[in-house]
Structures are given as structure tokens and as C-alpha cells.
Amino acid sequence: MAGYVLKRLVAIIALTFGITVVAFLIIRLIPGDPVIAMLGTGAGDKEMISRLREQLGLTRPLHEQYFVWIGQVLRGDFGYSYANQQTVSSLIASSFPATAQLTLAALTISLIFGSAIGIVAAVRRNRAADTAGMGFALICMSIPSFWLGLLLILMFAVVWPIFDVVGGTGLKGLVLPAVTLALGTMGFNARFIRSSVITALAQQHVTTARAKGVPEVRLFAWHVMRNALLPILTIVGLQIGQLLSGSVIVETVFSRPGIGRLLIQAILAKDYMTVQALIMMIALIYALSNFIVDILYPVLDPRIAR
């Protein structure tokens, strides 16, 4: 077990280093001068351009710029947002809780309803419930989130004003964005869980337990779901990153505060420091969630750590 954890720890450290390098190079390899883009109308002042370039360390060799930047990041300093006139750290700190709330709500909806649809479809395989459930899952996977968000706004803000839709930060304002973000992954979860449960139901030990008269509820909970849970855990780690990236569209459609909407605003304003920090942050969360999943694998199946 210790060797397994050590291997995963070395892998996540190497991946983290790669993520920081890519996030650092993205800004410096794009066409144009980031300093001129930041200054906007003030870009005609050569002295100001020179002073800002010196302040940002852009006159140093590339490797020195990286080490200076990563040292600042390790201290929690992601730079200064000239577009918002405040530090990038404070921008992220004020925006991240709303995105975390949205992501957690969407993941909960996706897992609960996706699991329910997938389990029912697997138990009622090749019957009407299976066909209806998989058809609904396919529809959920096919609908673009931006179109679904606009449709829900039309229905629940114009036709039936039930929820606080645009810019809402309370529970009523969370429902529609969370549903919009969750539907795509919910459809995938339903199909994936159906496949996992069908595979688990076909195992020899399940047939043996049923022949011994083990009650169906206990059989399903202990023998089927325990074996079907491992692949489900895999997609949870992947979907956290997917939902975080999907929040960029959903938060923009619903005018909801969060790092997704902040990223769009930073790109439009050419706020490179904020873009760089947010790209790195989303990638690191994605990597960390999968690292946690890898560590949980041996808990469910000790054979993996051998």
C-alpha cells in the first residue's frame, strides 16, 4: 500500500510541475505583447511599457521568469489584475466558493439521478424501463449546456417565474445552473453505471450467492454495487474537472459569479495574469481529484495495491 501511494505521489508531483510549466508558457508564447494588451489605451507611453515589463520580470531570461513566478505562486501571490485593479489572489478567493458550490451541486445531482436511472435500467434490462432510461440519458448527453441554460431561463424566468435565475447566489438561484451543468454528466453516468451493474450481475459469485438464497437487497448492496463501485469512482474523478470547465459556459449564461465567468471576463479584457492563474488552478484541481481517486482505489479493492 505504501509503495502504491508513493508511486501516485511521485506522479502527481511530476504532473503538477508540468501543469505549472504549461500555464506559464501559455501567456508568453501567444502572439502579441502582453504588456501592451494590459495597458490598452496607455500602450503609447514607452516609459510605462518599459516600467511594467520590468515590474513583471519580462526582461529576464525565460527560465528565470519561471522560477520567480513559481516562487510567488507558492507564497499565494498570482500577480496583479490591472483590469480589475486588485490582486489575482483576492479575485480567485471571492469567486471560487460560488463555483465550488455549483460544481458540488451538479455532481450530487448527476450521481444521484444518474445512478438511479442506470441501476433501474440494468435491473430491467431490455425492457421498457431500460429503453426509456437510456433514451433519456442519450438526450441529456446530446443537449448543449448553453442552449439548455437559455431554454430553462425562458421557461422558469419568463413563462413561469419560479426560480431566481440570472445572477442568483442563493438556493433558488443555484437550482437551474446546477441542473444545466449536471444533465450531460448525468446521462453519461446512467449509461456507465448500467454497464457496470450488468457486468457485476453476471459475475459467478453473484450467481452463487443468489443460489444460496441470499436476499436480493443484500445481494445487490453487498455483492453487486461493491464490485460496480470501482469504475464509478473513476468517472467521479474525471467529472470534477469536466464540471469545473463546464462552469465557464453555465456561469456566463446565468450571469452567476464564479471562476468560470471570471475566466471569460479575463480573456476578453486580456487580463493575462488572471487567465494564467485560473488555467493552472482548474488543471491542478482536476489532477488532485484524480489523485484522491487513485488513493481510494485500494480501499475498495486491495488487490490494486499489490
Domain identity same for 262 and 278 = yes
Rounded to an integer, what distance in angstroms lies between the CA atom of residue 177 and that of residue 250? 6
C-alpha cell at 37: 494588451
Domain identity same for 100 and 237 = yes
Domain identity same for 37 and 179 = no
Domain identity same for 106 and 81 = no
* Count of structural domains within the chain: 2
Domain identity same for 99 and 202 = yes
- Tens-place pLDDT, residues 121-170: 888 888 898 899 999 999 988 888 888 888 888 888 778 877 766 655 67
Give, as one character, the DSSP assignment of residue 30.
Answer: S
Q: What residues have CB less than 8 Å from 52, skipping those under 6 apart? A: 35, 38, 39
Average pLDDT of the residues in 286-306? 73
* Range of the structural domain that residue 301 is part of: 89-305
Residue-wise DSSP of 146-199: HHHHHHHHIIIIIIS--S--TT--SHHHHHHHHHHHHHHHHHHHHHHHHHHHHH
Query: What CATH number is given to the structural domain containing 112?
Result: 1.10.3720.10
Residue 87's φ and ψ, nearest 5 degrees, are -70, 150
What pTM was computed for the model? 0.80
Residue ending a domain, among 54, 87, 120, is 87
Higher-scoring residue by pLDDT: 162, 103: 103
Greatest C-alpha distance within the chain: 85
- Tens-place pLDDT, residues 188-228: 888 888 888 888 777 777 777 777 777 777 777 777 777 77
- Tens-place pLDDT, residues 1-11: 677 778 878 88
